[in-house]
Structure 1
Amino acid sequence: MTGTLTTAEEQAVKDFMTSVNGIRLGHHVGPLSWNTAVKFMMARKFDLQRALLLYEAHEVVRHREGLASFDPTRDPLKSELDTGKFTVLPTRDKTGAAISVFTASKHFLENTSHQITLQGMVYQLDVALDSLETQRCGIVFIYNMTNSKYANFDYELSLKILNLLKGAYPARLKKVLILSAPIWFRAPFSILRLFVREKLRERIYMLGPAQLTLHVAPSALPQDLGGSLEVNQKAWLLHCLKSTTNRYSDLCDLASLSSSFPLVQNGVIFHPLENSHVQNGLFRNFLSEGENTDESSEQLHSAHEKHSSEDREKEVEVTKEKTTGNASRKATTVTHISTDREKHLNPAVPFTAGESIHDDDVEGMSLDEFIHHLQQKGRKGLYQEYTELKMKAMEGTFDAARLKSNQPKNRYSDVLCYDHSRVKISCLDGDPSSNYLNANFIDGYKQKNAFISTQGPLPKTFSHFWQMIWEQEVLVIVMTTRTIERSRAKCGQYWPKEEETYTDYGPFRIHNNDVDQHRDYTVTSLVVTHTWSGLCREVSHMQFTSWPDYGVPLSALEMLAFRDKVREQQAQSLLSLGSHWHGHALGPPIVVHCSAGIGRTGTFITLDISIQRLEATGQIDVQGTVEKIRSQRAYSIQTPDQYVFCHLALLEFALSRNLLKDVDLTGFDEADSESE
């Protein structure tokens, strides 16, 4: 294989191996083979940095989806392969690209899982990718929907396949050909394609049997697709088995590692498992580029979102469980204290007077009007709409944030908080400036101060953050960033990460009771102890990990599901308080933070308010909602793509709740803005 590469290409492969193998050897994992390194470099046209990001995304996604190791000779994978729903044809298109086919009518959700389906695909694709011609020429993916029914379609699986093939697999995806799509497929497809980057959208075709031959010659198509090719799935699977038996494989060797490992290149450190696929390019390939061309400070900091958390006080006395030989301490018994004592320990009264600024329902649009609005505006029109919002004059002052004593408490010098809506904590030692931290109250739908929007805490503000959590009686903290993204610190580690450990922050001891990890988010159960009084409260820390830096998720489904979990957790925690809570029926503020507390934070809050309005009234008003949020937390919704995401996410929500049967947004992207 070496002789087929140019000298420059060979050197690039060597540089790639140097970066990757130094880390692998440090973790007692064998070195990456030359052939495998070539695959990653070939897939990214020998661009070293892009290949490193692809390798990182590949390791993380295959670990997350359970694609690290599997046995094709045993069920359930053996039965999955025998269905023949996915195969790689023994032929190529006229450009030399390999041809793979997924037959939707053979896929039944109740008979398999996403993991097994993806395993069946990866197992065969790994063999196909052994060919240097496939590495150079790429893969054509045919999604055959002939005679398929709604029961055969899995929207989330479709997203995962696109995600894997375009952003986390060492192969070039040349085309996606969707064949004989039923009428009911139009709605989910209209939404699906809007979440992918323009470059990929141009490669997705929805066509009929007659049009298929314009892309692939009849001689290269199987008979059930109108071609003349005879396909023997059993022979192909036998070839796959022989190819993988006793073969040295170094793909996904690091997936089983529980700790993060850095990839180092030219002094730049990448942390694949710590930063996850979403921060280091996995989804970034789908997103608009150049969104930081605006010279305003808001656009220049689109990569520096901040996210803040707040926990409600659940006044408890905790009996520590003592076990012989075990020094760990775990909360086991909860007892509420009196209201008078509770007031004494919460001197900073929550900013709850008055009505929410999201109380009126007269200016919204119905779903039909909303769809018509998107059809008329298109992506370019929404970008312009966002620009007009951004250009409106500020509606408040930032005097406290600009005090010399408070400036070090701001993560970013140009992301400050309004005076009129800022969260104030109790002053320390009579110092009037000590009541400051970078956080603002945000109204929810018909709920005053439903949220606290704040920056990712700095080490010097950890104790201030937990004081806010305590005094504002927070139950749930929502974190939409990772502590490190793209080798940059986005937020301090303000809570103990490991189970059965605790950390002290000023007068507050934070104990990690439990960590519950999911694919897209992690829920950590914390007990906050006020050490001066001995009182404790339970707080849920919910960290969403599938949001890419510099953009928005590939689909809103994961974010919508996470938002549902946040609301469920808030309701459960509130229920446990019983008569001890006397505030709004939806409970105390939910703390939301990213890095700056304006981009991802503003997007999450916008979606929550919009969903509650839609469920209550059938009305949508994204523009008005964002405008009002920005009046309480300056710069909320940081990029035009986040603004567009809010609109598309509401369509996905409506589809998932069967509020819509069909969506036709043809032409939505025909006039994309210059930021793409």
Structure 2
Amino acid sequence: MERESSALLFIREKSVGFTARVALHEYKRQCDGGYPAKLKKVLIVTAPLWFKAPFRILRLFVREKLRERVHTVSAPQLGAHVPRASLPTQLGGQLAPDHAAWLEHCRNCYTNNLQNNKLDGVIDEYVISNYIPPVKTQNGVIEHEVARDMTSDRVARLEQPDAMHISDPPYTCDTGPLRHTHGYNGDMKGGHIHSGDEDEVDLITRGTWSSGEASPGLSDEECAGGGAGESAGALLARLRSLGRRGLVAEYEEIRARPPQGTFHHAKLPSNLSKNRYTDVLCYDHSRVLLSQIDPEDPTTDYINANYVDGYKQKNAFICTQGPLPKTYSDFWRMVWEQGCLAVVMTTRAVERGRVKCGQYWPAAAGARAVHPPFALLTEAVDVEDDYIISHLVLTDLRSEMSRRVWHGQYVRWPDYGVPGGGRAQPVLRFLQLVRRAQRTALADLGDAWAGHSRGPPIVVHCSAGIGRTGTFITLDVCTSRLSAEGVADVRGTVERVRAQRAHSIQMPDQYVFCHLALLEYAVMHGYLESADLNGFDDDNEDESE
């Protein structure tokens, strides 16, 4: 349940067998019982067809909030809901449950704090808020011998200079204690969380967020796009006051901040060749995890991609680099496993004689391509002045299941720059087209989709996946918020995006463009009658003389 930051996810493996009516009764009892915390989701795994039909009917007669929490999913889709480190091995995860050890851990926790008179009669709240068990996130083994107590003494130790607490990045709204249970990116040594850039990584003791868990502390409502926000009129007045030079100085202040996370997985020797650029790596804490296809090689879950929040939607986007020939299969595996319906490409394959992105999809109508274990067919291609739309069919050759994917390529956006002429209207039209395609694809899914009303993540990439990609997402978040609330916060949005995808918004001109494009959107939709910015570039002209 989203209002409970410490909510539980209840997984029922359907192979055990029980009826739809019994299932709903059991889930209702679990939700209403609220022990030890309210349920966030109930996942029914690998349900047969005879179960799904009555289940869809019966769920219409339960409360809406309960209905939104109960989902039927296949085993590969579990990664979109639960960290794979927390899934049992029989469901494709890495957890080897030890129930006896967990009960012993709870007993020790309870006993220790009865002695310290800290329980105050609320065991659940204490366990969630003050006791943090050390977790080996790669194998799921809980080491209950060592207690980690978030007392004032421990907090003081964490605040020492050599302890960098990555799980609490700036600009994250939620301060709920459960975020620290799994959300660290460093090593747990001596009660400290150490973060470094060493190349050799112990994958057993270093934690990472998996699919669907890039923003573990935020609810959809908290992903509002920055801070308090300002109206279109206030934004116009501020830009007149700052001028281009002031905005550039504001951006340079943001860019000067060090990264808010680590890049251990991206730096593993077996993953280095999967990065298009050696200096554009993906954060550990928000990276997208693929299914591990080789049991002996844990790095087969790696792709240079990060979740980024949208407007009131956690993990609304997947920011990634332009696929390399060796990562074509990984890219389409990510699209398949994350249930993505739309891919946005803001680069050409070749720009100024340099390859910026591989041709990872068949470009011509009727063309086919195979990137095992997936095959692609391009059903149709629509060519416009500013963009090219390809209607793809993605097929998993293992199951012979297919899914339609909308692919939109914006072709008039230069690398390290802004759209031609600096005019935002073509980009804003393209943005609306992407949203319309997502809504259409989502409507076609019908009851098959039980997640957020805006659908699964939209994949966005350019070449490196930070400049044009970050600009596109910032525009989507800010325009969505302006439409819904009448306010927006460009700077706060950029800061949030950069906290999840390092170095997003690559150039000062892109930061300036986000502001100017938002003003243009405000005029187009009646929030402003006009946006006169005479003198905005005067400082630049003076410097050029």
Q: Normalising by the residue count of structure 2, what TM-score does the alignment of the two structures yield? A: 0.60
Partner Cα separation in structure 2 for residue 378 and residue 428 of structure 1: 52
Does structure 1 conserve the Cα–Cα contact (< 8 Å) formed by 2:226 and 2:496? no
Kindly indicate whether residue 242 of structure 2 is the aligned counterpart of residue 377 of structure 1: yes
In structure 2, the CA distance between the partners of 1:362 and 1:434, relative to structure 1 (3 Å rule), is: closer
Does structure 2 conserve the Cα–Cα contact (< 8 Å) formed by 1:346 and 1:470? no
Q: Among residues 320, 338, 351, which one is paired with 1:472 in the alignment? A: 338
Look up the SS of the partner of 1:448 in the other structure: strand
In structure 2, the CA distance between the partners of 1:642 and 1:673, relative to structure 1 (3 Å rule), is: farther
| Cross-structure match for 2:505 | 637
Q: Deviations over 1:476-525 (max 9, x none)?
A: 00000010000000000000111112111010001111111111111101
Look up the SS of the partner of 1:375 in the other structure: helix
In structure 2, the CA distance between the partners of 1:374 and 1:478, relative to structure 1 (3 Å rule), is: same
| Cross-structure match for 2:212 | 351
Does structure 2 conserve the Cα–Cα contact (< 8 Å) formed by 1:514 and 1:525? yes
Which residue identity lines up with residue 641 of structure 1 in the other structure? Answer: D
Look up the SS of the partner of 1:611 in the other structure: helix
Kindly indicate whether residue 476 of structure 2 is the aligned counterpart of residue 611 of structure 1: no
| Cross-structure match for 2:319 | 453
In structure 2, the CA distance between the partners of 1:521 and 1:675, relative to structure 1 (3 Å rule), is: farther
| Cross-structure match for 1:131 | none
Partner Cα separation in structure 1 for residue 387 and residue 232 of structure 2: 30
Aligned positions, number: 337
- Residue 549 of structure 1, CA deviation: 2.8
Which residue identity lines up with residue 370 of structure 1 in the other structure? Answer: L
| Cross-structure match for 1:531 | 397
Look up the SS of the partner of 2:360 in the other structure: coil
- Residue 435 of structure 1, CA deviation: 0.3
Does structure 2 conserve the Cα–Cα contact (< 8 Å) formed by 1:383 and 1:673? no
Does structure 1 conserve the Cα–Cα contact (< 8 Å) formed by 2:263 and 2:284? yes
Which residue identity lines up with residue 447 of structure 1 in the other structure? Answer: Q
Q: How does 1:587-606 map to 2 (within 5 A)?
A: 587-606=455-474
Partner Cα separation in structure 2 for residue 362 and residue 607 of structure 1: 15
Look up the SS of the partner of 2:331 in the other structure: helix
Partner Cα separation in structure 2 for residue 360 and residue 391 of structure 1: 21
Partner Cα separation in structure 2 for residue 564 and residue 653 of structure 1: 11
| Cross-structure match for 1:497 | 363
Kindly indicate whether residue 388 of structure 2 is the aligned counterpart of residue 512 of structure 1: no
Partner Cα separation in structure 2 for residue 486 and residue 512 of structure 1: 27
Partner Cα separation in structure 2 for residue 586 and residue 673 of structure 1: 44
- Residue 345 of structure 1, CA deviation: 4.0
Kindly indicate whether residue 229 of structure 2 is the aligned counterpart of residue 364 of structure 1: yes
| Cross-structure match for 2:274 | 409
| Cross-structure match for 1:651 | 519
In structure 2, the CA distance between the partners of 1:673 and 1:608, relative to structure 1 (3 Å rule), is: farther
- Residue 367 of structure 1, CA deviation: 1.4
Look up the SS of the partner of 1:588 in the other structure: coil
Q: Normalising by the residue count of structure 1, what TM-score does the alignment of the two structures yield? A: 0.49
Uncovered stretches (5+) of structure 1, i.e. residues with no partner: 1-338
In structure 2, the CA distance between the partners of 1:664 and 1:409, relative to structure 1 (3 Å rule), is: same
- Residue 674 of structure 1, CA deviation: 9.7
Which residue identity lines up with residue 491 of structure 2 in the other structure? Answer: Q
Partner Cα separation in structure 1 for residue 227 and residue 253 of structure 2: 22
Q: Deviations over 1:102-127 (max 9, x none)?
A: xxxxxxxxxxxxxxxxxxxxxxxxxx
Partner Cα separation in structure 2 for residue 642 and residue 460 of structure 1: 30
Q: How does 1:278-289 map to 2 (within 5 A)?
A: none
| Cross-structure match for 2:164 | none
Q: Deviations over 1:232-257 (max 9, x none)?
A: xxxxxxxxxxxxxxxxxxxxxxxxxx
Q: Deviations over 1:191-236 (max 9, x none)?
A: xxxxxxxxxxxxxxxxxxxxxxxxxxxxxxxxxxxxxxxxxxxxxx
Partner Cα separation in structure 2 for residue 413 and residue 674 of structure 1: 38
| Cross-structure match for 1:386 | 251
Q: Return the structure number with greater relative CO, CA threshold 8 A, min gap 6.
A: 1
| Cross-structure match for 1:549 | 415
Does structure 2 conserve the Cα–Cα contact (< 8 Å) formed by 1:358 and 1:443? yes
Look up the SS of the partner of 2:539 in the other structure: coil
Does structure 1 conserve the Cα–Cα contact (< 8 Å) formed by 2:304 and 2:320? yes
Partner Cα separation in structure 1 for residue 331 and residue 391 of structure 2: 17
Does structure 2 conserve the Cα–Cα contact (< 8 Å) formed by 1:347 and 1:426? no
Kindly indicate whether residue 285 of structure 2 is the aligned counterpart of residue 424 of structure 1: no
- Residue 361 of structure 1, CA deviation: 7.0
Look up the SS of the partner of 2:534 in the other structure: coil
Does structure 1 conserve the Cα–Cα contact (< 8 Å) formed by 2:309 and 2:317? yes
- Residue 675 of structure 1, CA deviation: 9.4
Look up the SS of the partner of 1:612 in the other structure: helix
- Residue 359 of structure 1, CA deviation: 2.7
Does structure 1 conserve the Cα–Cα contact (< 8 Å) formed by 2:368 and 2:378? yes
In structure 2, the CA distance between the partners of 1:447 and 1:622, relative to structure 1 (3 Å rule), is: same
Partner Cα separation in structure 2 for residue 420 and residue 362 of structure 1: 22
Partner Cα separation in structure 1 for residue 248 and residue 309 of structure 2: 25
Partner Cα separation in structure 2 for residue 673 and residue 418 of structure 1: 39
Partner Cα separation in structure 1 for residue 457 and residue 267 of structure 2: 25
Partner Cα separation in structure 1 for residue 467 and residue 347 of structure 2: 10
Partner Cα separation in structure 1 for residue 514 and residue 444 of structure 2: 32
Which residue identity lines up with residue 271 of structure 2 in the other structure? Answer: N
Does structure 2 conserve the Cα–Cα contact (< 8 Å) formed by 1:592 and 1:601? yes
Does structure 2 conserve the Cα–Cα contact (< 8 Å) formed by 1:525 and 1:538? yes
- Residue 548 of structure 1, CA deviation: 2.1
Uncovered stretches (5+) of structure 2, i.e. residues with no partner: 1-70, 81-210
Q: Give the share of equivalent positions with the same residue, in percent.
A: 51
Partner Cα separation in structure 1 for residue 330 and residue 283 of structure 2: 18
Between 1:365-374 and 1:378-387, the stretch displaced more is: 365-374
Q: Deviations over 1:12-41 (max 9, x none)?
A: xxxxxxxxxxxxxxxxxxxxxxxxxxxxxx
| Cross-structure match for 1:300 | none
Which residue identity lines up with residue 474 of structure 2 in the other structure? Answer: T
Does structure 1 conserve the Cα–Cα contact (< 8 Å) formed by 2:329 and 2:372? yes
Bigger CA radius of gyration: 1
Kindly indicate whether residue 309 of structure 2 is the aligned counterpart of residue 443 of structure 1: yes
**What RMSD in Å do the two structures reach over aligned CA positions?**
1.7
Between 1:594-603 and 1:548-557, the stretch displaced more is: 548-557
Partner Cα separation in structure 2 for residue 486 and residue 552 of structure 1: 16
Does structure 2 conserve the Cα–Cα contact (< 8 Å) formed by 1:477 and 1:590? yes
Q: How does 1:45-444 map to 2 (within 5 A)?
A: 343-346=74-77, 348-349=79-80, 350-351=211-212, 354-356=218-220, 358-359=223-224, 363-430=228-295, 431-444=297-310
Kindly indicate whether residue 388 of structure 2 is the aligned counterpart of residue 522 of structure 1: yes
- Residue 373 of structure 1, CA deviation: 0.7
Kindly indicate whether residue 492 of structure 2 is the aligned counterpart of residue 624 of structure 1: yes
| Cross-structure match for 2:535 | 667
